[in-house]
Structure 1
């Protein structure tokens, strides 16, 4: 009840920001750091082998999976190490994330604790305790097991928000401008609040504001977002997801979401890049509705009626897209 009340209070104020969203999209070019985010996302897409989905949501080119050890050039990081690097944007001091290691039990194991156990079993450590020689793990065996744990944790810990956080941090955003988080909902909520503050005439350091994707043309560097899962199906509009974002504090109740970075816009549509899409960094084409610069409604869950023979099936890209996080 409290969340709904907060949302209803915020809606009239935020509705006044819609004109600002449209004016920004129509008349203001994306700032340099937005373009840097788009360039970084394109770079990572290429480094991951170029996985691509067409405008109908079909996979047309497969890339590297998150745990692969393929190196496309001498000295290049393989996919699993690139994902670990994304996590540094979320957890730079501790390097604890990603930590989940699932093995069939009700509760997943913690990678950092397992790594500590490996260190305790190293030959060097045991020799220091007076055990040996030829006891425990030598350095190469210990490293092999540590890498195996890292690769399992990369698979078992969702990393799409870490990817966005890394792109934002690498583009030069600071912690006062963007909420670096393992959950998309944290930085989406900050952008929602920024829009409310901005519409009310209050200063905000946040770099992005929340806009209605169905009414606002995207620009390179903006983020396009959707709610996911069973909860996402019910949050299929800007207003509905706003009710949750308006009353949720950073780090609050989970809300599965996904966001992509807009990397290119043309007259027919726009291209995005997202992390952990089909276990890779994936390029996605999204078409505009004919004669507009707005997302075609056929991408939305209700966009294709069962008797709509002329409606294009968007397959894996048919999602509850609702939120545009726009550079201010």
Structure 2
């Protein structure tokens, strides 16, 4: 064999290997078919992956660059199945059971009707979707659909982060320091969304010292493969978006950009400071092993999946022509649960 023929074969082998690695990197197409898997962790990944595929697979690469974003929360069409992004977000709120506690918010009651009637314009609901961060509603819907025992659905990530620290026996998660954690499927990676930098120690002290909330965001780890972690979150740049992160040989985050006090602001003049992965990463929620989850509650795939909206019985901020009766005055009390407050430039 000539040297040129040998080089051609070597080049072909390298190209085939690269193609194989590119195909294997995104495990979501295969994972999305395993939503009834016996393992709780796999079901979490499968359901999150299925939604990521529905949103046309936008992602943030290891360099913090956003790619392939084609559908946004406020749009009336653009999902892979032809559906409406804003109606899908309304569905997360509705099917997770978190829409009713948000009934005091403008447009919330409109969402219940808009999710049932695709011909209904739902302008109030569309405004609600845009004005209220929905990442925690998305996580809550995934956890419910996956049948995660003991998970406490909330419109605020802080609530289940706090539960992981303060209710070690009842929570399906343990709160651990993010940079030393070995990431695995079913875990969640979380950051604090304020101008102040908390870090793990600051977050732990805050949980122990306050009774209120703290704006946060969490992504769900759906796969760990070949030195990479793949995380999916809702309301990440107005979509269900994947984040690709580097890991070291121990499966820990490696080279992860962390926010610090006095960071240079991202701008056209300081492009090196622009990175969607540079956040105040303050927590990993470690999913407990299957045998420990079984001590909290059933770990089998749920027989009922929250896939169909429930018709609203009354409305607070009613829309003319919706056909929904107004709730009595007693039903207009503001609920305690509040969603994470939107921040300028936040996800």
Distance in 1 between residues matched to 2:209 and 2:86, nearest whole Å: 36
RMSD across aligned positions (CA) = 3.1
- 8 A Cα contact 1:299 1:314, kept in partner: no
Counterpart residue number, 1:326: 286
Q: What TM-score do the two structures reach when normalised by structure 1?
A: 0.66
Q: What TM-score do the two structures reach when normalised by structure 2?
A: 0.62
Gaps of 5+ in 2: 1-36, 265-271, 289-347
Q: CA deviation at 1:95?
A: 3.6
The 5-angstrom pairing of residues 227-266 of structure 1 reads 227-230=192-195, 233-236=196-199, 238-248=200-210, 252-266=211-225
1:293 to 237, 248, 251: 251
- 8 A Cα contact 1:66 1:280, kept in partner: yes
Matched, 1:79 2:85: yes
Distance in 1 between residues matched to 2:44 and 2:278, nearest whole Å: 25
Counterpart residue number, 1:186: 159
Matched, 1:315 2:278: no
- 8 A Cα contact 1:261 1:273, kept in partner: yes
The structure richer in helix per residue is: 1
Distance in 1 between residues matched to 2:217 and 2:185, nearest whole Å: 17
Pair 327,257 (structure 1): closer, same or farther in 2 beyond 3 Å: same
1:153 to 100, 106, 128: 128
Q: CA deviation at 1:35?
A: 1.3
The 5-angstrom pairing of residues 1-328 of structure 1 reads 32-70=39-77, 72=79, 77-91=83-97, 95=100, 97=102, 100=105, 110-112=106-108, 143-144=120-121, 147-174=122-149, 177-195=150-168, 204-230=169-195, 233-236=196-199, 238-248=200-210, 252-289=211-248, 291-302=249-260, 315-328=275-288
Pair 222,270 (structure 1): closer, same or farther in 2 beyond 3 Å: same
Aligned to 1:80, the other structure's residue is in SS state: helix
Pair 53,98 (structure 1): closer, same or farther in 2 beyond 3 Å: farther
Distance in 1 between residues matched to 2:110 and 2:84, nearest whole Å: 23
Distance in 2 between residues matched to 1:112 and 1:284, nearest whole Å: 29
Q: Deviations over 1:94-115 (max 9, x none)?
A: 6464764xxxxxxxxx225789
Number of residue pairs the alignment of both structures matches: 241
Q: Deviations over 1:166-193 (max 9, x none)?
A: 000000135xx11100000000000112
Moved over 4 A (4+): 71-74, 112-116
- 8 A Cα contact 2:73 2:238, kept in partner: yes
Gaps of 5+ in 1: 1-29, 101-109, 119-139, 196-203, 307-311
Q: CA deviation at 1:52?
A: 1.1
Pair 31,318 (structure 1): closer, same or farther in 2 beyond 3 Å: farther
